[in-house]
Structure 1
């Protein structure tokens, strides 16, 4: 009985994670420049992947699998913002200009 409840909750969480991942993919395709694409990929992508890992943890009643899912979520939360910042900084130093529609450029 309780396993069925966890399966339904995991299904809802999995759909939410897939929706966030879809939004991230659309953002990467549709946004105008590298910096806004990085923003979409790093924010919505990590939420989507984290929710999918959370759904895996909810469905699995195996301790090591739950531990790996939680560690995966923590790794994503810690590494994705750092890597996005480093990629944006490297692109800026390489001369990649923001889109003309960018209103605020605090690095000028």
Structure 2
């Protein structure tokens, strides 16, 4: 039963990664693209880490994967903030209908 749950959680993580990649290609401006990548990839990585942790069933591996996920969330937040700040300084405006 845990194997099936791990597969489903990992598949959900892959779907979020795919959604972030599609958002990168389809959204009209840099700000919405950054939003899609940051949100979808953070959730996708968290779900994949949870799936691998469930599949392996080792506490310390799960803890390390959780720490990797936290570090990636912090790094992607900082990178997104820096990229958006640079786009703002360049004068790029947000997309409007």
**Scaled by the length of structure 2, what TM-score is found?**
0.88
- What's the counterpart of residue 73 of structure 1? 69
Relative contact order, CA 8 A, sep 6+: which one is greater?
A: 2
Name the structure with the higher helix share.
2
Within-5 A mapping of 1:1-108 = 5-99=1-95, 101=96
Equivalent residue pairs, number: 97
Structure 1 segments of 4+ aligned residues over 4 angstroms from their partners:
none
Question: Structure 1 residues 23-32 or 87-96, which shifts more?
Answer: 87-96
| Structure 1: segments with no counterpart, 5+ residues | 103-108
TM-score normalized with structure 1 length:
0.80
How many angstroms apart in 2 are the aligned matches of 1:48 and 1:68? Answer: 17
Residues of 1 paired with 2:25 and 2:32: CA distance?
11
User: Rg larger in 1 or in 2?
Assistant: 1
RMSD of aligned Cα (Å): 1.5
- Please list the CA deviations of residues 70-107 of structure 1 after superposition, one character each: whole Å capped at 9, or x if unmatched: 111211232322221121011111222322x16xxxxx
